[in-house]
Structures are given as C-alpha cells and as structure tokens.
Amino acid sequence: MKKKLISLFLIGAMSAGVLAGCGNGGETNEGGNSGSNAENQGDVSGNAEGSEMEMEVVVEPGTETGGGSATYSNKQVIVGEISETSGDITPYWTNNASDYDAYKLVANGLEPIVNDQEGKWIENPTVLEKLETVDNEDGSKTYTVTIKDGLKFSDGSPVTAKEYVFGIMFFASDELQVDLKATEASAGLFQYYKGYSAYSSGESDTFEGVHLIDDKTFSVTIDASMEPYYYGQALVAVGPESMALWVPEDVTLEETENGVKFSDNFTAEYIGEKVEKAKYDYNINCGAYMLTGYDADAYTYTLTKNPNYPGNFEGQTANIETVLIKYVPEDTMMDQLKTGAVDLLYQVGDGDKIEAGLDMVEEGGYDYLTYGRAGYGMISFKCNQGPTQFKEVRHAVAYLLDRVAFAQTFTGGHGLVVHGPYGSQQWMVQEYAEEVDGLNAYTYSLESAVAALEEGGWVYNEDGSDYSGEGIRYKKLDDGTYMPLVIEWLSSENNSVSDLIVTSLMQNPDVASAGMQINQTVVTFNELLSYYYDNSEENPYQMFNLATGFGNPFDLAYMYEPGSGSNINAIPGEEGQKLYDLTIAMNQTAEGDDVAYAENWFNFISYWNELLPEVPLYSNDYHDFFTSRLHDFEEDGYNWDIVKAILYANIE
C-alpha cells in the first residue's frame, strides 16, 4: 500500500510538473493579446482558422523556384536565426539581431521615405501625401511632411502627424536616453535635426527642429552643419509611435514657436512603469506584422499579419499570415531546416554550413539565394602610434598576407576579397566596377613588402647601422631614436579568424624575412573592444582583428572625423584630414546628383585604399537556405533585406 502511494505520488508529481511547465511563466510575453489589440488578434486568427480554403490562392511562383503553379496556404513561415532571441523586442535598450528583425517587421511600415530594391531613397506614396522642402537662410533645410488620411496602427487607432512627432520627441528625450537608459535611442536620425543637442541633453524642453503643424502635417529641420546632405531625404524616414502605448494618457505634446515640447508631467519617474511594460509588450505598431507573443521556452516570436497595414511603397502587404522568428543553435541549424523545424535560414556565412546546405539543395526540397556581405572581416590598425602609424608598414602587412588564400580558406570558397569599405550590392560599386577592379590589391609579395618598408625608412639595425638583412628592422624617428618593427596585435579568444591570422601572417616565415615581428595577445572580446576604442597614444596595441559592416545611408564621416572618439584608426595629420574631407565631400553632394556622388565615393575609396587603415580579409557570400515550399523570396541583405522581402513571399 505504501509503495502504491509513493508510485501514485511520483506519477502525480511528474504530471503536475509538466503541466506547470506548459503554463506561460514569467518569461513568456503575450504581447499582442492585451488591451484593445486583443480584438484585432481575434479577428485575424478567426479569419485564418475559419476560412482557410478561401485564403488559398494560386499564383505563379517566381522563376527562381522553378516553373509551374503552386497552391499557397500562406499560413506560417518559421525563420531560423542564429542569434538568441531575448524577448526584448525594442532595440532602444540594445537587443540581439534576431530581436531586431522581429522589431523591424512590426515597427517599420509607415515611413514617408523608404529605400527601394536598389537602395535609392524614395517617397512612399502609400503614406506620403506631400513633401515640401525649403532651404532656410541660416543654411538649414526644412522638410514638411503631409501624410495621407486613414493610416492606422495595428489596434485600429488612427495615425496622425502627432504620432510621428511623438516618436521623434520621445526617443530623442533626455528622460528616455539617460534616465530610462535607452542608450540606443540616441542612435536615431534625430541627431541631424536642428536643436537636437539642447533637447536631448535636457538643456531645452523644446526640440527646435521639430514642428507639429496640424493633424496631417509635421516638419523637421536639418541642422545647417549637416547641409547639404546627399541622403537628405533619408533623414525624414521616421515612423510613428503610439503615445497610448508608451506614455500615460495625460502626457501631451504642445507646439510652440521654438519647436514641440512635452507637457510637464513627461518625467522618467512618471512614464517609467509604462515604458518598461511597452518595451516588451510592443503591441501597438504599424508594420506589416504585429507582435502576438514571445515564447521564452521556444525562443520564438510569433508575428501575425497586421490587418491595418496599408502596404509598402508598392502597395504590397504581407501574404503569409504568421511569421515565427525562432532561435536555432548554429551547431544544429542545418538539421533544423532538414527536419522542418524552420523553413528559412538566412545569411549563412560559414563554409561548412553552406556546403551542407548546397548538398540539401542538390538532394531536392530546398532552394537558396546568395549575395555578397555588406561588410568584411579585417585587420584594423591604430594609425597614430607604433609602427602602424606609418602607412608603409600597413602596406607591408597587407603584402605579407595572402588574402586570396585567406578568404578561400576561411569562407570555404564562399567569399571574396575586397580592397576597401564597399560591398557588391552598392550601386556605386556597379557604376565604378572597372575602377574598383583597378584598386591596389596588395597581392602577396615579400619583395613588395620589403620595398615598402625600405621606402618608409625601415632600413636600420637596432644600433643605427644599415639593416643587415636579418632580425628586426628599425626606423629612425624625428627625435633620433630608433623604433623596432614590432607590432602588438590584440585578438579575441576562440576566434577562428585569429587562428588563421596566426598561421598565415604571424608565423609566416616571410614576415621574419621582411624584418617584422608580430606579437599576439589574446583577451575576451569585450576587453578587446575597450582597447580598440582607445585612441590614445598610450594604447599598447596597434593591430586588431574583427569584422565590420556598413549600411544605407553610406555615411562614414563620423568614423574619420579627426579627434573624434569614433575615429578608431585615428589617422593623424594631413592624411587623416584629407580622408575625412573626402567623406564630407560624399555627404555634401547635392541630393539626386548620383554622378557626382559616385565620383566622390570612388575618390574616398581610392584614397582609403592608399592609406589602408584596415586590411580587408574576406567578404562572405551569404546564403539563404529555405524549403522549396517558400516562393517569391528575394533579398540582397543590404538594400532589400529579409524584412522587406518577406512581404512578397508565399508558402505552400
């Protein structure tokens, strides 16, 4: 009897345990099922379940997936992401790439200016009724935006000009950025607006460059210091935010002569609780999809079609009813696709994974896309201290590293070498293809490395005698002392790129033959970053390896501004100033003058290639692998990413 009781208790405990585990615990965020949004949710799911047959449409799939017709249920697609989802969907407090993808699907959609498939910034006719541009006497430029009637948030509430102005005022505010620690909020476009510094620092309670004109109209003024700006229209690519979601009802916006201001009750203490809730329950939004929930146990965001989304600039609304953004571990990602746990894996860059994916495609049942990465893995130099302050040394390092073999090895043949900060999807690269091909490739050559060093004055032994041909080279500095050609390299732990640099560069006998020595120090990635961002001449390291990417707008001025903390390479003197001036020349090309912009762009790339503040090592050919049931999915990862492409996709 006693044994039976124990057995019954154990079985009961197991069942209770599983039942308890099936409940939505504290980490599960049912974003869209609260408040007024719940009504919409009900409508959507009702349609999906109740009229499945009605939803099925027969369309011609894209040619890339084979001919013939297919029946699309368009019920659900599961997107696998290798960065872990955290449930923190809003990016203003820093989140992961997978969280950010989910955010973009629900938050982006009603911007008056958007970029098209070629990366050009264009007016969005779905949203924009009128855009007026005025050049002001003080050199600033005012964009007055009139939006169309009938725009709505996902919960059905109207979108007016006030919601656009609120988005700017809210995220640019001192209360949010500092008091509520939304550090990423300050990374917006707003810093180009007139009066941003005074408003965001709390010095002024009005935002001078932002005006709320009427229910349909608002204006933003770009600061004179930013004008002219080639990507000017992109600065108006702001979206609306729901006041009802983020702040208590009695917080209001007021238009004044000096710009818009919040009511006095807009304080961190007063809005804090609501903001804390809204950042996870981001359930009133304007994207093609809306957040239905986050399942922490499945590491999955559930996004359902927003019934109030009017479409993108081409009027395209989402075809697929539900998109799931799911975290998949890198080790098993291809197996997850193979077993149907996910329908799409995108931006696969690892050579082994790509090979496995291509094998799956060959076996049938899967398709893929491939496109170049808008970025590259690199060696980055500090150009204001140590041997790498001399460009001849940087050139020599480039000559001593067989970058073609490096890229081949690291990417498994699925990558290429670039010679500057550009990517194949950029229209400027296509315009200047021939000139880009003519850039100095720093082809592997010990002779070229030695010649570069000799040209740079690295022709001495330690005692000041002429270089003997063995051991480390020295250079005589202006103060009469001799600097050894010893480069201190800082790399992060468990880094396969670093391992390859060790064998292909540091331990390369030709490096010693050239009279150079490279010493490696391995630290955690975070520690590496603290040295990487240290531009002082006391920084003990001159060489780092990491990866970088660039976006659209392609604005690199902040990276090369002399004296700026963001100028990682810290190229000193005239060379640094000239490189910065070239980025400014790019930015200050008149809007729409693509010919002049492309010319300025190539001038910058060309001079960058000459100074070589970084040695690009590889630029991956990314692959998207997906089930053959998915059709009409085209992206390039740069101008037209997955978030934009998924609207057009259909799934059987």
Partner 1 sequence: MVGVFFVVSIIMFILFNNVPGDRALNQVQSLRGKVSDEIFQRHYEEARERLGLDDPIPIRYVKWMGNLLQGNLGYSTFYKKDVIKVIGQPMVNTIIINIFATILALVITIPLGIHCAVKKFSKFDNTVQVLTIVGYSVPSYIIGLVFIFLFSVKLGWFPISGMNSPNFQGAGLEAVLDRMHYLALPVIVMTVASLGGMTRYVRAAMIDALRMDYIRTARAKGLKEKVVIYSHAWRNALLSVITLIIGWFMSIFMGSIIIEQIFQLNGIGKMYYTGLMNQDYDMALAIQMLYCVITLISNLITDLSYGIVDPRVRINK
Considering only 191, 317, 385, 513, the residue that binds partner 1 (CB under 8 A) is 191
Considering only 8, 277, 524, 549, the residue that binds partner 1 (CB under 8 A) is 524
Q: Confirm or reject binding of residue 19 to partner 1 (CB under 8 A).
A: yes
Per CB under 8 A, contacts with partner 1 among 531-560 are: 533, 558-559
- Whole-number Å distance between alpha carbons of 380 and 272: 41
Considering only 63, 69, 526, 536, the residue that binds partner 1 (CB under 8 A) is 526
Q: Confirm or reject binding of residue 614 to partner 1 (CB under 8 A).
A: no
Residue 247: CB partners within 8 Å, gap ≥ 6? 170, 266, 271, 274, 275
- Whole-number Å distance between alpha carbons of 617 and 610: 16
Q: Confirm or reject binding of residue 27 to partner 1 (CB under 8 A).
A: yes
Give the residue among 464, 487, 485 at the shortest CA–CA distance from 476.
464
Helix (H) or strand (E) run with residue 299 in it: none
Q: Which is nearer to partner 1, 93 or 270 (CB)?
A: 93
Q: Confirm or reject binding of residue 10 to partner 1 (CB under 8 A).
A: yes
Q: Confirm or reject binding of residue 338 to partner 1 (CB under 8 A).
A: yes
CA dihedral of residues 70, 76, 80, 85 (deg, nearest 10):
160
Least distance (Å) between residue 102 CB and partner 1: 13
Q: Confirm or reject binding of residue 350 to partner 1 (CB under 8 A).
A: no
Question: What letter would DSSP give residue 146?
Answer: E
Q: Which is nearer to partner 1, 209 or 484 (CB)?
A: 209
Q: Confirm or reject binding of residue 341 to partner 1 (CB under 8 A).
A: yes
Residue 461: CB partners within 8 Å, gap ≥ 6? 467, 468, 471, 474
Question: What letter would DSSP give residue 106?
Answer: H
- Whole-number Å distance between alpha carbons of 107 and 88: 14
Residue 69: CB partners within 8 Å, gap ≥ 6? 58, 59, 60, 61
Q: Confirm or reject binding of residue 7 to partner 1 (CB under 8 A).
A: no
- Whole-number Å distance between alpha carbons of 79 and 341: 9
Considering only 356, 472, 512, 529, the residue that binds partner 1 (CB under 8 A) is 529
Considering only 258, 336, 520, 552, the residue that binds partner 1 (CB under 8 A) is 336
Residues listed for the chain: 652
Q: Confirm or reject binding of residue 100 to partner 1 (CB under 8 A).
A: no
Per CB under 8 A, contacts with partner 1 among 36-95 are: 76, 78, 84, 86-88, 93-94
The region of 25-33, 252-260, 411-419, 457-465 touching partner 1 under the rule CB under 8 A is 25-33
3-state secondary structure of 536: coil
Q: Which amino acid is it at 203?
A: E
Q: Which amino acid is it at 189?
A: L
Q: Confirm or reject binding of residue 136 to partner 1 (CB under 8 A).
A: no
Give the residue among 235, 276, 264, 245 at the shortest CA–CA distance from 114.
235
Considering only 22, 53, 58, 595, the residue that binds partner 1 (CB under 8 A) is 22
Considering only 2, 3, 5, 18, the residue that binds partner 1 (CB under 8 A) is 18
Q: Which is nearer to partner 1, 462 or 558 (CB)?
A: 558
Q: Which is nearer to partner 1, 145 or 630 (CB)?
A: 630
Least distance (Å) between residue 216 CB and partner 1: 31
Q: CA distances (Å), 358 to each of 62, 305, 363, 634, in order?
A: 20, 32, 9, 18
Q: Which is nearer to partner 1, 117 or 496 (CB)?
A: 496
Q: Confirm or reject binding of residue 273 to partner 1 (CB under 8 A).
A: no
Q: Confirm or reject binding of residue 267 to partner 1 (CB under 8 A).
A: no
Neighbours of 26 (CB within 10 A): 6
Least distance (Å) between residue 625 CB and partner 1: 16
Least distance (Å) between residue 172 CB and partner 1: 11
Contact yes or no for 651/77 (Cβ under 8 A):
yes
What tokens were used for 611? 């100074």
Give the residue among 348, 309, 301, 305 at the shortest CA–CA distance from 325.
301
Q: Which is nearer to partner 1, 482 or 550 (CB)?
A: 550
Q: Which is nearer to partner 1, 82 or 159 (CB)?
A: 82
Q: CA distances (Å), 251 to each of 175, 243, 259, 270, in order?
A: 13, 8, 17, 9
Considering only 8, 12, 25, 139, the residue that binds partner 1 (CB under 8 A) is 25
Q: Confirm or reject binding of residue 443 to partner 1 (CB under 8 A).
A: no
Q: Which is nearer to partner 1, 199 or 390 (CB)?
A: 199
Q: Confirm or reject binding of residue 146 to partner 1 (CB under 8 A).
A: no
Find the angle CA(261)-CA(262)-CA(263) to the nearest 5 degrees. 125
Least distance (Å) between residue 549 CB and partner 1: 13
Considering only 17, 42, 469, 540, the residue that binds partner 1 (CB under 8 A) is 17
Q: Confirm or reject binding of residue 200 to partner 1 (CB under 8 A).
A: yes
- Whole-number Å distance between alpha carbons of 410 and 268: 48
3-state secondary structure of 448: helix
Pairing of strands 344-348, 76-81: parallel
The region of 141-149, 220-228, 521-529, 586-594 touching partner 1 under the rule CB under 8 A is 521-529
Q: Which amino acid is it at 241?
A: E
Look-up: residue for tokens 């609306």? 240
Site residues (CB under 8 A) for partner 1?
10, 13-15, 17-22, 25-28, 76, 78, 84, 86-88, 93-94, 177-178, 181, 183-184, 186-187, 191, 197, 200-201, 279, 295-300, 302, 322, 324, 326-329, 331-332, 335-336, 338-339, 341, 523-524, 526-527, 529-530, 533, 558-559, 564-566
